[in-house]
Amino acid sequence: MSTRHAALITGGAGFIGTNLADRLVQEGRRDVIVFDDLSRPGVLQNIEWLTRQHGERVELIRGDIRDAAAVEDAVSQAAEVYHLAAQVAVTTSLRDPVRDFEINARGTLNVLEAIRRQASPPPLIFTSTNKVYGALEDIELADRSSRCTPISRGVRRFGIDEMRPLDFHSPYGCSKGAADQYVRDYARSFGLRALVFRMSCIYGPHQQGNEDQGWVAHFLICARDGNPVTVFGDGLQVRDVLFVDDLVDAFLLGMQNIEKLSARAFNIGGGSLNTLSLLELLGFIEQQQRAKTAVRQAAARTGDQRYFVSNTSAFSAATGWQARVGVAEGLRRLTAWLSTEGPEASTPRGHQVTGTAPALVGAMR
């Protein structure tokens, strides 16, 4: 792999990183360096798949984002950087807020400093979260039969845009929010080419969802394996969901337009045309399986955003990007992948899922 011609993806063995790496190599844009500590269940399967598909064009560096020297060594080989590595769950951040900070905030600072020290700093895209907007408790909602709906016609039609004030909530929200702001300020203060994606729910192939992250895949996996699903709250929580192929399109357009977009933050999700409540996903599953899904109810979790839908018009106006894969098609594609290549079935044990934003940020990873 040629030095300084590769794309570096931190957390690249995760679900989003795997899809991004595959596209970059498949389209001949870049060879890829995956920087990952391989701590998340299922990521070895992703690495094995990437290796089968692309051989030496994907290089694995096993490293921890908290190791500044390892991060700098990886960045020194990169022509562009996608920083996806993170601790992604509110529940985990509440149990160990220091570790959450070290990974999300300090880890991001390690990446920024490594980029800043290069003679020719590579451009950066950072994946943030809708959790930076807080619990959104001021948005008035009406409960319908299967979902909650904003009273405000504007919010109902367009969703929530980047003018919404930041309101970090939970240690996870604080650590990701701090990283979000550091990325933007390093672009302003040091002239780095860097932009932020504040992501809503991402779903698609290679997502091995569990009770703390990846709720769409998690529901589908539980149903496939005959496990009950625990819904926290009333199940009316709504998110916009974005199929991972559309997110990868956004990454590529963001990098192509990095000069004019640098220092900006964009809400990225399925938007108002691609929304889903927990109850509606359960309904889809039951329709597909022609059987009822076992559901357990539990109390709502603190800080749960009952409603979040991204207004993506700013990024669309800047780049021409649009989400192309609708909810029904995306769910069909993910279901097909899970049935053929997804994680092996587990023993039924009452998996749980929450509607809280960080658990929905595929990202997540």
Domain contains 365: no
* Domain range enclosing 52: 6-360
8 A C-beta contact, residue 342 and residue 221 = yes
Q: Please give the Cα distance from 38 to 49 (Å, whole number).
A: 14
Residue 1 lies in a domain: no
Confidence tier at 210 by pLDDT (50, 70, 90): confident
Taking Cα atoms as reference points, which of 179, 198, 164, 176 lies closest to residue 268? 198
Q: Is residue 22 part of a domain?
A: yes
Q: Is 160 left (phi over 0), alpha (psi -120 to 50) or beta?
A: beta
Residues 6 or more apart whose CB falls under 8 angstroms from that of 209 comprise 215, 216, 217, 218, 219, 220, 221, 353
Residues β-bridged to residue 295: 229
Task: Calculate mean pLDDT across residues 346-350.
Answer: 40
CA dihedral 213, 43, 122, 132 (to 10 degrees): 10
* Secondary structure (H, E, C), 147-189: CEEECCHHHHHHCECCCCCCCCCHHHHHHHHHHHHHHHHHHHH
Active site residues per annotation = 172
The enclosing domain of 54 has a CATH number of 3.40.50.720
pLDDT (mean) for 68-94: 95
Q: How many angstroms separate the CA atoms of 173 and 179, rounded?
A: 10
119-144: b or e for each residue (b if 16 or more CB lie within 10 Å)?
Answer: eebbbbbbbbbbbbbbbbeebebeee
Flag whether 191 is in a domain. Answer: yes
The DSSP-derived string for 198-214 is: EE-EEE-TT---BTTB-
**pLDDT for position 343:** 80
- For the chain, give the number of residues: 365
Rg (CA), the chain: 19
**116-147 tens-digit pLDDT:** 999 999 999 999 999 999 999 999 999 998 99
Query: By the 8 A CB rule, do 12 and 38 touch?
Result: no
Note whether residue 58 is domain-resident: yes
Helix, coil or strand: residue 276: strand
**Confidence label for 359 from pLDDT (cuts 50, 70 and 90):** very low
**What pLDDT digit, counting tens, does each position of 216-271 carry?**
998 899 888 888 888 888 999 999 999 999 999 999 999 999 999 999 999 999 99
pLDDT digits (tens, 9 = 90+) for 305-347: 899 999 999 999 999 999 999 999 999 999 999 999 888 754 4
Which of 202, 161, 251, 223 has its CA nearest to residue 358?
202
Number of domains in the chain: 1
Phi-psi domain of 50 (left: phi exceeds 0; alpha: psi -120 through 50; beta: other): alpha
Query: Which pLDDT belongs to residue 77?
Result: 96
Q: Which has more pLDDT, 89 or 72?
A: 72
More confident residue, 358 or 75: 75
SS3 state of residue 50: helix
Domain assignment present for residue 113? The answer is yes
